[in-house]
Amino acid sequence: MSTLSPITGRTSFNIGTTQLAVSLHSGATYVAVPEGRPGSAFVESGRIRVKLGWLSPSGGPRVTGRRLDAPAARLRVDMGVKSFVPGGGEFYPSHLYFPTIGCWRVTASNAKSNLTFTVRVVRQ
């Protein structure tokens, strides 16, 4: 799993740099629960949906992902429209749809930076 380190001045974005950062759930583990229950990931139409926020001052991040511990279909990403973080900075909300549980490597890039991290997706 990735080691998380806070981004100076951007405590809500806990992995990355000032050029590209993301806000990951504690321990980079997402526990999927049925839709409508409190949680950080939700089972939706056979997939697991996770909402992530991106700090990306160089345009919207391009995000891909693949499962590391077994074969699986590709990660689907729905990137939202640009918003702004208080104090400056471009923010992009997103939904990541993991087709299965498991260990996933996620890679993001924008015009100036690349970011790779690993998350664990499990069911309750």
Give the distance between the most distant pair of CA atoms in the chain. Answer: 42
Q: What percent of the chain has pLDDT over 70?
A: 88
User: What gap in Å lies between CA 61 and CA 81, rounded to an integer?
Assistant: 11
Number of domains in the chain: 1
Within a domain: 8? no
Within a domain: 68? yes
Structural domain span for residue 43: 15-123
Residue 45's pLDDT band, with cuts at 50, 70 and 90, is confident
The model's pLDDT over 66-81, given as tens digits with 9 standing for 90+, comes to: 999 999 999 999 999 9
Within a domain: 72? yes
Within a domain: 112? yes
What CATH code is carried by the domain that includes residue 32? 2.60.40.10
At 28, give phi and psi (nearest 5°): 55, 35
- Mean pLDDT confidence for 8-13: 59
The model's pLDDT over 95-124, given as tens digits with 9 standing for 90+, comes to: 999 999 999 999 999 999 999 999 999 998
Within a domain: 1? no
Length of the chain: 124
Residue 13's pLDDT band, with cuts at 50, 70 and 90, is confident
Nearest to 109 by CA among 118, 101, 117: 117
Within a domain: 114? yes
User: Bigger pLDDT: 72 or 6?
Assistant: 72
Within a domain: 75? yes
Within a domain: 10? no
Nearest to 112 by CA among 20, 21, 29: 20
Say if residues 108 and 89 touch (Cβ distance below 8 Å).
no
